[in-house]
């Protein structure tokens, strides 16, 4: 199972919006609405921020939103803040059945 | 407090075996799918394995099939990962994580990880 494809890095200024893409295939992202997103700060465990494509767990800021079109899922961070600087990973259920993470995207707040 | 604490990592020679443990507290392990995820130094997350609530349905990432076995002792609130024929590329921080009622549910609780180093 190949990792889902994410851009290596995305940057933005405080207050701006950024979008991170996550591209898979019809056997994972495109075949199921079971895409989740995780935020990981350096030296910390990952934190769930989006599940089932577009749902936010309790306590997660509404500045985070998710969507999907075909084989590509996306995470948008609105009103970018310094604390959003972290690594972000998408994840999808697959038909194998297994699970697969994305390659990860480093978000930098300029 | 809902918590997962991994243990059992260490330095092991190539070809060796190791068993990782994950102690769950603050919730009843038997109600959840449980997963192992690893992260090589400076690299991304890689899903490794998962087991259903009873441990009878298990799935593995291709590179560990036949070498790793996930198991659980719900009475002790413990999750395990038995690793055999270890390779240098298995070197990573290993996290256990909690799913929910279905294999495809997201991972909402993570431990802090235990480090496995495979080297001669």
- Interval A77-93 mean pLDDT: 98
Question: What are the chain A neighbours of B110 within 8 Å (beta carbons)?
Answer: 45-47
Q: Looking at residue A14, what is its pLDDT?
A: 97
Taking the C-alpha atoms of residue B120 and residue B117, their distance in angstroms, rounded to an integer, is 10
Closest Cα in chain A, distance from residue B105 (Å): 7
A87: chain B residues, CB-CB within 8 Å: 44
Task: Check residue A97 and give its pLDDT.
Answer: 86
In this model, does residue A26 exceed pLDDT 90? Answer: yes
Please report, in angstroms and rounded to a whole number, the separation of the first and last CA atoms in chain A: 35
pLDDT of residue A1: 80
A52 contacts in chain B (CB < 8 Å): 106
pLDDT at A29 over 90: yes
CA–CA distance, A21 with A27 (Å, rounded to integer): 17
* Sequential pLDDT tens for chain B (120 residues): 999 999 999 999 999 999 999 999 999 999 999 999 999 999 999 999 999 999 999 999 999 999 999 999 999 999 999 999 999 999 999 999 999 999 899 999 999 999 999 999
Inspect the interface and report whether the beta carbons of B59 and A93 lie closer than 8 Å. no
Give pLDDT, residue A33.
97
Give the closest-approach CA distance of B44 to chain A in angstroms. Answer: 6
The DSSP line for A4-71 is BB--SEEEE-TT--EEEEEE--TTTGGG-S-EEEEEE-TTS--EEEEBTTTBPPTTS-TTEEEEEETT
- Chain B closest-CA separation from residue A45 CA (Å): 6
Inter-chain Cβ pairs, chain A and chain B, closer than 8 A = 65
Residue of B nearest to A103 (CA): B44
Residues 7-46 of A with CB under 8 A from B: 32, 34, 36, 38, 40, 45-46
pLDDT higher than 90, residue A110: yes
pLDDT score recorded for residue B59: 95
Nearest-CA distance B43 → chain A (Å): 9
Q: What is the pLDDT of residue A106?
A: 98
Q: Is the pLDDT of residue A71 over 90?
A: yes
How close is the nearest chain A Cα to the Cα of B71, in Å?
Answer: 16
Cα(B60)–Cα(B38) distance, integer angstroms: 12
User: Which residues of chain B neighbour A106 with C-beta distances below 8 Å?
Assistant: none
Query: Are A91 and B47 an interchain contact pair (Cβ–Cβ within 8 Å)?
Result: yes
Of A48, A87, A93, the CB nearest to B103: A93
Whether the pLDDT of residue A4 is over 90: the answer is yes
């Amino acid at each position: 199972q190949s990792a889902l494809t994410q851009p290596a890095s995305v940057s933005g200024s405080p207050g701006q919006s950024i979008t991170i893409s996550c591209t898979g295939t019809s056997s994972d992202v495109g075949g199921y609405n079971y895409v989740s997103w995780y935020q990981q700060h350096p030296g910390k465990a990952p934190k769930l921020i989006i599940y089932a494509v577009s749902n936010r767990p309790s306590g997660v800021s509404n500045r985070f939103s998710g969507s999907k079109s075909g084989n590509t899922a996306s995470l948008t961070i609105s009103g970018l803040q310094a604390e959003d600087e972290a690594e972000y990973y998408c994840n999808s259920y697959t038909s194998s059945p297994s699970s697969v993470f994305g390659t990860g995207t480093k978000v930098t707040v300029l | 407090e809902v918590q997962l604490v991994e243990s059992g990592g260490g330095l092991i020679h190539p070809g060796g075996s190791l068993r990782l443990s994950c102690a769950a507290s603050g919730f009843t392990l038997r109600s959840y799918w449980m997963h192992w995820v690893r992260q090589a130094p400076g690299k991304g997350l890689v899903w490794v394995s998962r087991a259903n609530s009873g441990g009878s349905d298990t799935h593995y990432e291709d590179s560990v099939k036949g070498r790793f076995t996930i198991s659980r002792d719900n009475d002790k609130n413990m999750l395990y990962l038995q690793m055999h024929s270890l390779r240098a590329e298995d070197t990573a921080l290993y996290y256990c994580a909690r799913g929910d009622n279905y294999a495809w549910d997201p991972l909402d609780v993570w431990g802090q990880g235990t480090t496995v180093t495979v080297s001669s």
